[in-house]
Structure 1
Amino acid sequence: GQLTVLMISHKLREVSAFADTVSVLRHGRYSGGGKVADLSHEDMAAMMVGTRRPSAPTQRAQVVRPADATPVLALEQVRARDRSGLKSIQIDALNVYAGEIVGIAGVSGNGQTELMEILAGQRPYRTGTLRVNGVPYRARRAQARANGVRYLPEEPLRNACAPQMTVAENMAFRNFDVDAQGQLQAFVQRPAMQRQAAHFVQSFNIKTSSLDSPIAALSGGNVQRAVLARELSGQVRLLLIANPCFGLDFAAVAEIRARIMAARNDGTAVLLLSEDLDEILELADRVLVMSEGRISYETPIAAADVAVIGRHMAGHA
């Protein structure tokens, strides 16, 4: 008898080897397709990632890096297991310098989540070195505070908040136990916590009915603004971000990206992991591609070719 097979894959080699026709989805919408025999890998990659040319945002400041600059973040020969325990995350070399955004592009499930977990101290690595500001880094709270390391993970309500605690309490997670001079204090100073939250709400245009509302009551965009306000407070030397604008409306997307660029312009080193290639092309100074748990490609944004990036994302270098 006859059998119809529907295969879902992001590997162009698999599509070419097994499929008769192909349909490509981009951002949840049909973006093209046809008979596989009539399409090259370049054609399919263009449908998958788009043909948009990278263009630097007008607010990007020129940053001159000294030739002998030490990277703020440096990974070397890092090896760890992925979530399944069957595959390996292998980062041979990854450096991020002050005043730049390094964007890591890739199809979901190629090790980006595990890399963020390694950087946040949530996933042990078996071998290799992870350094921040030139010294070994294990992502302990005291280390993060001393080195100015901040995080904006994906799904911030789940991964960066205590949903049933108040807006003000969530905004104080970075400094609830220290005074204005950074000295440890025995008691939580709620008046100071409320004043800080009110300042963040005004500065970051956060919409909330009350500072005492559970942060889970806020919209996705306002949760993201609240977490970003908290993480950008104080001296920030390294900002680690994953999919910061997923599911947000256009206004929130524009504001979040502007805040990230402003941090970069102020000298912060930014590592941006995103499944949205347009976002990386808009923000990054350098683009890296992560595939099968490895960094498979790197290019400065000025030389970025969407077709080449797409082929590496699809595992077809």
Structure 2
Amino acid sequence: MTMNQAAPILSTGRAPSLEAIGMTKIFGPLVALDDVSINVPAGSFHALLGENGAGKSTLVKSIMGFYSADKGKVLLDGKEVSIKSPRDARANGIGMVYQQFTLVPCLTAAENLVISRADAPSVIDWKKEKKALAEFMEQMPFKVPLNAQVSSLSAGEKQKLEILKLLYLDQRFMILDEPTSVLTPGEADEMLGLLGDMAAKKEITVLMISHKFREVKAFCDGFTVLRRGKFTGSGDAQSSTVAEMSHMMIGDTTIRERAVRKQTNESREVLELASLFAQDIDGADVIHGLSLKINAGEIVGIAGVSGNGQSALVEALAGQRPLSDGAIRIHGQPFEPNRASYDKFKVFGLPEEPLKNATVPRMSVAENLAFRAFDKPPVTTLGWWMSPGPMRKRAEELIALYRVKTTSPDAPIETLSGGNVQRAVLARELSGDVDVLIVANPCFGLDFASVSEIRSQIMEQRNRGAAVLLVSEDLDEILELADRVAVMSGGTINYISRIEDTDRNVIGQHMAGH
């Protein structure tokens, strides 16, 4: 599109079909894709399913030209196309919306659209460009303020702008990588619904990577499943059951049955967060007057769109971010987030990204499992003498009890899979009496078996009487586990309710700040 050309006009019948045949990609000893094929008909809304490491990202990156497949070919509208780079993909009308935004925050929405063009002029005639953009926006199902700076837009508006950018560049085959992970439930349903309408009119074709079966069932017409780099099945998303899709994803892997929520009449207050305040490095409040109480035998889930202070709250409770005001109390007594107080008040936790935030990657599994007990008997005698024998014996017991898959207790913990790092940290944190458990996004990116195991462990601690604070960007996880839900927006809690007295839509409205 040149400066004098109008923006592309949406019309029916222009949606392309795409077929990838026999795609193979090898990285050293790892076969990331093994003869994988996928067929996405024109005008369809197709889901690409698979667990973490199944090969989904490798497949779409091969289609997009980020990787050069060792074998295989891509057909667009039945004709083979050569895609050696993302530029080739764009030239063929194939675009991708990534999990992380690719917008320039300091520029306006209009400026982001114009500079995305390969032929953007060095001197821009904004009068002509804005007229063309206004005509383009009139055809679009999404509305984003073109003159607003991107940094001022909500996460939902930024995601819409990413999709508008593909349409502006006339990229009618859209690959969406977990597109709703930063959206409220309302924003997610609106965006997917509008894209579904466009696909039904044959204006676009959509291939969506997702782990949310609810969205797949609600918006997709077909699906393809990968497992360990291989194609394991495909089908009609409407007629296939979630159980059938799950089996294609995990095979015959044994999944632990979820722990049953026990009824409790416990009303003993354990954890109190009293008007907490904390700042970022520029002195702006990231936690603003946050108050919350959690009883024994209760899980309170903190929901919210990413970036509303949830991470800062977890950091404050872990002693990684100082509070500027407010107080933390456990059993009515002041609590300071340090190692001595964690032991005294029986506070344990599983932070997000535990390999980075809760372990020393190059130390052994046994050493990492000993972090809470290395200075106590039987590991330590005489107050200072550490004995490797008892430490290793205890590690072997915890590895067996929590089913941590490792070649040896002496293996560096960084050699474990993500799910097994989570299990190892949980083994360490849940190996004693727990009064308070703080967990943050505990199942992000994990396989089904690990998700089931970890959620069961959290529920079991709740059933034993622990007060559990669950911070999660996965609303389904909160709805499954929590007794009450609290929504964070703008660094504070703006809504709290018992799970049985609310629903997804009400929670979503408060997540959006309404």
Structure 2 length as normaliser, TM-score? Answer: 0.53
- Comparing 73-82 and 182-191, the one that deviates more: 182-191
Which of these residues, 262, 265, 268, is aligned with residue 64 of structure 1?
265
Which of these residues, 126, 140, 155, is aligned with residue 10 of structure 1?
155
Contact 1:26/1:49 (<8 A) preserved: no
Deviation (angstroms), 1:27: 4.2
Other structure's SS at 2:477 match: helix
Contact 1:49/1:306 (<8 A) preserved: no
Q: Structure 1 residues 190, 171: closer, same or farther in 2, change over 3 A? A: same
Residue 199 of structure 1 is matched in structure 2 by 397
- Comparing 295-304 and 182-191, the one that deviates more: 182-191
Residue 457 of structure 2 is matched in structure 1 by 259
Distance 1:135 1:183 in 2: 31
Q: Structure 1 residues 215, 181: closer, same or farther in 2, change over 3 A? A: closer
1:230-309 residue pairs with structure 2 within 5 A? 230-309=428-507
Deviation (angstroms), 1:2: 2.9
Amino acid at match of 1:34: L
Distance 2:259 2:457 in 1: 14
Contact 1:60/1:265 (<8 A) preserved: yes
Residue 213 of structure 1 is matched in structure 2 by 411
Distance 1:265 1:125 in 2: 31
Distance 2:509 2:259 in 1: 28
Distance 2:156 2:311 in 1: 19
Q: Structure 1 residues 228, 267: closer, same or farther in 2, change over 3 A? A: same
Unaligned runs of 5+ in 1: 36-47
Amino acid at match of 2:445: G
Other structure's SS at 2:348 match: strand
Residue 26 of structure 1 is matched in structure 2 by 180
Q: Structure 1 residues 58, 116: closer, same or farther in 2, change over 3 A? A: closer
Amino acid at match of 1:10: A
Deviation (angstroms), 1:10: 2.7
Distance 2:380 2:330 in 1: 21
Residue 44 of structure 1 is matched in structure 2 by none
Contact 1:112/1:293 (<8 A) preserved: yes
Residue 377 of structure 2 is matched in structure 1 by 179
Q: Which runs of 4+ in 1 moved over 6 A?
A: 48-52, 181-184
Other structure's SS at 1:113 match: helix
Deviation (angstroms), 1:184: 7.1
Deviation (angstroms), 1:303: 1.0
Q: Structure 1 residues 182, 281: closer, same or farther in 2, change over 3 A? A: farther
- Comparing 274-283 and 82-91, the one that deviates more: 82-91
Structure 1 length as normaliser, TM-score? Answer: 0.84
Residue 351 of structure 2 is matched in structure 1 by 153
- Comparing 82-91 and 295-304, the one that deviates more: 82-91
Which of these residues, 307, 313, 321, is aligned with residue 115 of structure 1?
313
Contact 2:294/2:468 (<8 A) preserved: yes
Contact 1:98/1:267 (<8 A) preserved: yes
Other structure's SS at 2:129 match: coil
Name which one, 1 or 2, has greater alpha-carbon Rg: 2
Greater RCO (CA < 8 Å, at least 6 residues apart): 1
Deviation (angstroms), 1:28: 8.6
Deviation (angstroms), 1:105: 0.3
Please list the CA deviations of residues 11-48 of structure 1 after superposition, one character each: whole Å capped at 9, or x if unmatched: 57x98xxx9x9x9932499861439xxxxxxxxxxxx9
Distance 2:214 2:507 in 1: 11
Residue 80 of structure 1 is matched in structure 2 by 278
Please list the CA deviations of residues 105-125 of structure 1 after superposition, one character each: whole Å capped at 9, or x if unmatched: 011110001101111111111
Other structure's SS at 1:26 match: coil
Contact 1:82/1:111 (<8 A) preserved: no
Contact 1:100/1:267 (<8 A) preserved: yes
Q: Structure 1 residues 27, 80: closer, same or farther in 2, change over 3 A? A: closer
Deviation (angstroms), 1:86: 2.4
The count of residues paired between Structure 1 and Structure 2 equals 294
Amino acid at match of 2:422: Q
Q: Structure 1 residues 134, 28: closer, same or farther in 2, change over 3 A? A: closer
Q: Structure 1 residues 183, 281: closer, same or farther in 2, change over 3 A? A: farther
Contact 2:286/2:312 (<8 A) preserved: no
Deviation (angstroms), 1:91: 3.4
Deviation (angstroms), 1:306: 0.7
Other structure's SS at 2:356 match: helix
Please list the CA deviations of residues 34-80 of structure 1 after superposition, one character each: whole Å capped at 9, or x if unmatched: 39xxxxxxxxxxxx99689xxxx7700011124xx3x2111111111
Contact 2:302/2:488 (<8 A) preserved: yes
1:126-145 residue pairs with structure 2 within 5 A? 126-145=324-343
Residue 188 of structure 1 is matched in structure 2 by 386
Amino acid at match of 1:2: E
Please list the CA deviations of residues 205-246 of structure 1 after superposition, one character each: whole Å capped at 9, or x if unmatched: 110001111000000000000000000011110001100000
Other structure's SS at 2:283 match: coil
Amino acid at match of 2:154: S
Amino acid at match of 1:64: N
Contact 1:10/1:314 (<8 A) preserved: no
Deviation (angstroms), 1:188: 1.3
Distance 1:291 1:49 in 2: 26
Q: Does 1:125 align with 2:323?
A: yes
Unaligned runs of 5+ in 2: 1-127, 134-145, 168-175, 196-211, 218-257
Contact 1:63/1:99 (<8 A) preserved: yes
The percent identity for this pair of structures is 48
